[in-house]
Amino acid sequence: MAQSQYTEENIRSLDWKEHIRLRPGMYIGKLGDGSSADDGIYILLKETIDNSIDEFVMGAGKTIEISIQGDKVIVRDYGRGIPLGKVVDVVSKMNTGGKYDTRAFKKSVGLNGVGTKAVNALSTFFRVESTRDGKSKSAEFNLGELKNEELLESTSRRRGTKITFTPDEAIFKKYRFRNEYVERLLKNYVYLNPGLTILFNGEKYYSENGLKDLLEDNNSTEDMLYPIIHLKGNDIEVAITHSKTQYSEEYHSFVNGQHTTQGGTHQSAFREAIVRTIRDFYGKNYDASDIRKSIISAISIKVMEPVFESQTKTKLGSTDMGGNLPTVRTYINDFIGKQLDNYLHKNQETAEKIQRKIMMAEKERKELSGIRKLARERAKKASLHNKKLRDCRIHLGDMKNERRLDSTLFITEGDSASGSITKSRDVNTQAVFSLRGKPLNSYGMSKKIVYENEEFNLLQAALNIEESMEDLRYNNIVIATDADVDGMHIRLLLITFFLQFFPELIKENHLYILQTPLFRVRNKKETIYCYSDDEKYSALNKLTGKAEITRFKGLGEISPDEFKHFIGDDIRLEPIMLDKALSIEELLKFYMGKNTPDRQEFIINNLKVEVDLVEDN
């Protein structure tokens, strides 16, 4: 075998923008088209806003204005403004920024000076404008390349920084911003920064009560077992309650304003501290799972120069608070141990409700212990021998952390559909779980059914969510069923299962529906896949000559070669989102309860009759 040449010509140095564009995942995580909350376009937005948040934290600028119209994003703050002589450098030179000077940014969201450089390099249009001391300076870039730099000019505009950018569609293919994800991002910012006003496309976001508002906005008051426990210290804030109906644990954790969706040292310490304090207060060695069962909580801490496990800052790795403060674990344990204990002594009614909840959880756990043991053994045997779960390689070695955000589990029905997806998938990041028949309608049932029902037990085991979401094995859970009546029914039954037992999977935007084409329109030169009748008609108008139309009746009819496109770069995912106006119980009762007149009327009013037209083209 001939050896390849390895000479000086093989050695190449990339400049900052080339490296970001060649390896964008190192800087912003996954790419995506905007259908997931952690897709790259939202990271670009977040990195831009973070700088404005840091200004607010430093006491400069109480309002941030954000506009998103189509693919164009504008973020305007009223902070101190970038020093005018460094406007270009701050957005185009790596390792350049004010956050390295801890005197100016002691507890900043990010310290590496990369954020706006990544936005710049990954945008077809990027403009930065800074105003301070009655003067302004601006510069425009294309893919990180400076195209126009304006001279200093006098101005009467208020001080601050304005960033305008358009993400590059060559990187973020066919993307679009979803207002729901943007709104959630902005709400988190105001929860963590009481007194801050954010205007998004003219709508105002503001919070007075911090994390207490977060829990209230995300959960119905009727489902809370007791009023929210809200505790605040110099560098820490927590909010705690228990759900009356939810089974597993739910945490919202933040570090220096960054939403750490994968938790980290602070969240682990928080979980530990709650257990220790409850045990000490009641003088009983309750099981940790019984104490934390059904908990809904939030924690925010501020750390000097935090260390995260990736550029996207979704998991805290720091063990120290910084300065002369103790470790993160000790700091949180001391705070919770004192403040939560004081609260429970002063609020006897809440303390009694918590103890009754723990005792009920303990009783249920003991009743289920035998069933759970058998269920785990069945799940292990099924995984090894029946191949119900065809796993991906991401859980092996170093890939686990590097590409966790890309991990996907397709839940599909029938051998033919699961066979097509299995043959077409990316074996590194995509796994397949095969359903056998229709799942049970789990509405109104207890957690016992999850262990007794083979499908539910194996699905729970595959996702690794028996106790909490902290060790969720797949970031994206995708329901892949046929677009017919039976397929729609299976979707509804699966969504019911998740809402009933694991609602935080939906609250945290992990659940999706796979959109696959209904039609294939092709002639001898071109093939177009269509997801609706409108797209079909458009394809027929585009193609010249005689075109052949194929109506896909099921996923199993799509060949593996074709399926590669629909679960690869061109994947279309529709996120499942909760309507905050309705409680989970109300949703389940309406759609999955007894056939009420209200639901009959809803079905009649929303019934769609599809008429297939035979095209002679």
pLDDT of residue 608: 45
> How many angstroms separate the CA atoms of 175 and 70, rounded?
10
Of 93-107, 175-189, 209-223, where does mean pLDDT reach its minimum? Answer: 93-107
pLDDT of residue 11: 47
pLDDT of 569 higher than 60: yes
Of 382-391, 483-492, 591-600, 603-612, where does mean pLDDT reach its minimum? Answer: 603-612
Query: Please, what's the b/e burial string for 221-242 (b: 16 or more CB within 10 A of its CB; e: otherwise)?
Result: eebbbbebbbbebebbbbbbbb
pLDDT in tens, 500-534: 888 888 888 899 999 888 888 988 888 898 888 89
Cα Rg of the chain (Å, integer): 26
> How many angstroms separate the CA atoms of 393 and 70, rounded?
37
CB atoms within 10 A of CB 150: 12
> How many angstroms separate the CA atoms of 43 and 27, rounded?
9
pLDDT in tens, 201-250: 999 999 999 999 999 988 888 889 999 999 999 889 999 999 988 888 88
pLDDT of 397 higher than 70: no
Strand, helix or coil at 587? Answer: helix
**E strand residue ranges, 114-235:** 123-132, 135-142, 145-149, 153-154, 160-167, 197-200, 203-205, 229-232
16-205: what fold?
Heat Shock Protein 90 (3.30.565)
Strand, helix or coil at 75? Answer: strand
Domain 387-516+552-606 CATH (choose: 3.40.50.2000, 3.40.50.670, 3.40.50.2300, 3.40.50.300): 3.40.50.670
> How many angstroms separate the CA atoms of 371 and 349, rounded?
34
Beta-carbon contacts of residue 272 (< 8 Å; ≥ 6 apart)? 329, 333
Strands 511-515 and 476-480: parallel
Q: Is the model more confident about 384 or about 528?
A: 528
Both tokens assigned to 522: 């092709």
| Residue-wise DSSP of 396-412 | STTHHHHTGGG-EEEEE
pLDDT in tens, 540-560: 988 877 888 988 877 877 888
pLDDT category of residue 403 using cuts at 50, 70 and 90: low
The CATH number that domain 211-364 falls under is 3.30.230.10
Beta-carbon contacts of residue 288 (< 8 Å; ≥ 6 apart)? 271, 275
> How many angstroms separate the CA atoms of 514 and 444, rounded?
27
Across the range 331-340, mean pLDDT stands at 95
pLDDT of residue 617: 39
In the chain, the percentage of residues whose pLDDT exceeds 90 is 37
> How many angstroms separate the CA atoms of 425 and 175, rounded?
22
pLDDT in tens, 430-469: 999 988 888 888 888 888 888 888 888 889 888 988 777 7
Taking phi over 0 as left and psi of -120 to 50 as alpha, with beta for the rest, 592 belongs to alpha
On the 0-12 / 13-18 / 19+ scale of CB atoms within 10 A, 119 is: buried
pLDDT category of residue 112 using cuts at 50, 70 and 90: very low
Through-space distance between the first and last CA atoms of the chain, rounded to whole angstroms: 55
pLDDT of 272 higher than 80: yes
pLDDT of residue 7: 53
> How many angstroms separate the CA atoms of 302 and 190, rounded?
16
pLDDT of residue 225: 94
- Which amino acid, residue 317? G
Is pTM beyond 0.85? Reply is no
Domain spans of the chain, in order of start: 16-205, 211-364, 387-516+552-606
